Amino acid sequence: MYLFIKSFFDFFLAILILILTIPLNIFIVISIYIFQGRPIFFKQKRAGHYGAPFFIYKYRSMNSKSAKNGRLLSDEKRLTPFGNFLRKTSIDELPNLINVIQGKMSIVGPRPLYLKYIPLYSERQKLRHLVKPGITGLAQVNGRNSLLWQERLELDVCYVEKISFFLDLKILFRTLWITINRKGISSATSVTMEEFKGNSKI
């Protein structure tokens, strides 16, 4: 019953946030165009509910600079100053609200990860796909990208097992606090999160 109600809550909250942030979104779009050029949005295929693929939308925080061999430079070298600001404030995630309105994501839930990770999960870790992926989640308010993969995936499963209105409310309040304090945005060795290579290699 809660999951049914949660879908309606997600839809209306996403629309409300988008309306309230119209001036901010206009500013971001213009700034990205000026400082980084096109495209404005970053689009990438991720694993959604039950592992079904979908395209996630974010504001682009990196340029497309490549090395002489044609391969993209590392995330650290492609992250722009304005993009770094977007990531530190989590403003780059605002277009995720489009995914929520589409019904592909929830406000709260495990973050959507790459499709290529699915075969690498343990049977328990695969339980994270029993709910829609979210903009924020239990792992995000307990360390975010500073967590080890095993810790992060376990927190995702714990959320699925304990999902409730009060847990979602608690995560939302903690997300606001963490966003203000800008904690856990990067891992210890990367501006994003290291690639997941399976449980035996964590």
pLDDT at 89 over 90: no
Q: What phi and psi values does residue 46 have, to the nearest 5 degrees?
A: -130, 170
Domains held by the chain: number: 1
- Which residue range forms the structural domain that includes residue 70? 2-201
- Calculate the alpha carbon distances from 71 to 39, 64, 101 in Å: 19, 10, 34
**105: helix, strand or coil:** coil
pLDDT tens figures, 47-83: 999 999 999 999 998 877 776 676 766 777 778 888 8
Q: What is the pLDDT of residue 88?
A: 85
For residues 37 and 109, the model is more confident at: 109
CA dist 168 and 172 (Å) reads: 6
Average pLDDT over residues 155-165: 96
